[in-house]
Amino acid sequence: MGIQEQYRSEAASLLSSGEVKLVIGFGAGSTADRRRPLFARTGEEANRFVLDASCIANLSTYLLTEGLLSDGKKVGIFLKPDGIRSINILIAEAQLKPDQVVILGYAIENGQLTALEGRSVADFNGVNEKIRSLALPPAVQQDIERLEAMSPVERFQFWQDQFSKCIKCYACRQACPMCYCRRCIVDVNQPQWVNTSSHTLGNFEWNIVRAFHLAGRCAACGACDRACPVNIPLRLINARMGREVREAFDYFAGESTDQKPVLASFSKDDPETFIL
């Protein structure tokens, strides 16, 4: 039995047995290489799940749909390592309860699909080398290194050029599982903290504020830059911030469900190189 059939059958039995009320996975998309979210509530619907190397979206964002988990029932969900990291961060931030999620984990390595062992949140909690090693695709790592090789002036120009394209559609925010605030700072208009029109200063404010908001919280899933209609490589800035946090505080976001948020906690051993 292939992985797709195995997971279809697992999803169907989770639903038929009543262990979960819903399974969130992937269905066929509008083109052969696109997949769209599929929400199955019966074993029969689970037969429509598709699982292949095109299933790249981080579905964890749907778990935060208002009211979905308020009845205390469980939901099953197809997740790659970045989605599992997201779940761990959301639990650490008290947005999810671990016993409400059944993880149908899989990984895509060099275009090949593999099944991940474990179904409960606890199975993926704690230092997990598999999750660490698959968390940042090599292409993103290479792009970060290309940016690092630039002079500060060149790098600033790079981001200025990129952010100047922003049309403030906020699709990046909507796609991101970590952007769960019911009212975002950019939607507050009394006072208006961040200018909502598309111009250089406001675009910088929005994108830098968001990058700082995600520092130590980003799961590097890339949902933001896939959602961006003007192709700003948002994952690069968030992944770079993630690396900064890792190097400074030995903190890998999403590794465990009881991590304290890195920028909201303090240890007397924290580096203080910013103090001159």
Half-sphere exposure of 172 (CA within 13 A, CB side): 26
The DSSP letter of residue 63 is G
Report if residue 240 touches ligand SF4, rule: CB under 6 A.
Answer: no
Q: Please, which residue, 54 or 74, has the CB nearer to ligand SF4?
A: 54
Task: Return the structure tokens found at 47.
Answer: 């037969």
State the burial class of residue 199 (Cβ atoms within 10 Å of its Cβ: 0-12, 13-18, 19+): exposed
Q: What's the closest the beta carbon of residue 224 comes to ligand SF4, in angstroms?
A: 3
- Report helix angle 200-214 to 152-163, nearest 10: 110
Report if residue 55 touches ligand SF4, rule: CB under 6 A.
Answer: no
81 cis-preceded (ω within 30 degrees of 0): no
Q: What's the closest the beta carbon of residue 245 comes to ligand SF4, in angstroms?
A: 12
Query: Which of 103, 215, 221, 236: binder of ligand SF4 (CB under 6 A)?
Result: 221
Q: Please, which residue, 81 or 177, has the CB nearer to ligand SF4?
A: 177
Length of the chain: 276
Q: Please, which residue, 103 or 178, has the CB nearer to ligand SF4?
A: 178
Report if residue 92 touches ligand SF4, rule: CB under 6 A.
Answer: no
Q: What's the closest the beta carbon of residue 46 comes to ligand SF4, in angstroms?
A: 26
Q: What's the closest the beta carbon of residue 18 comes to ligand SF4, in angstroms?
A: 32
Q: Please, which residue, 147 or 227, has the CB nearer to ligand SF4?
A: 227
Task: Return the structure tokens found at 161.
Answer: 């050029």
How many residues bind ligand SF4 (CB under 6 A)? The answer is: 27
The count of other CB atoms within 10 Å of the CB of residue 127 is 9
Task: Return the structure tokens found at 101.
Answer: 């999620």
The window from 49-57, 67-75, 131-139, 233-241 that contacts ligand SF4 (CB under 6 A) reads 233-241
State the burial class of residue 42 (Cβ atoms within 10 Å of its Cβ: 0-12, 13-18, 19+): exposed
Q: Which of residues 123-182 bind ligand SF4 (CB under 6 A)?
A: 166-172, 175-178
Q: Which residues bind ligand SF4 (CB under 6 A)?
A: 166-172, 175-178, 214, 218-224, 227-230, 232, 234-235, 238
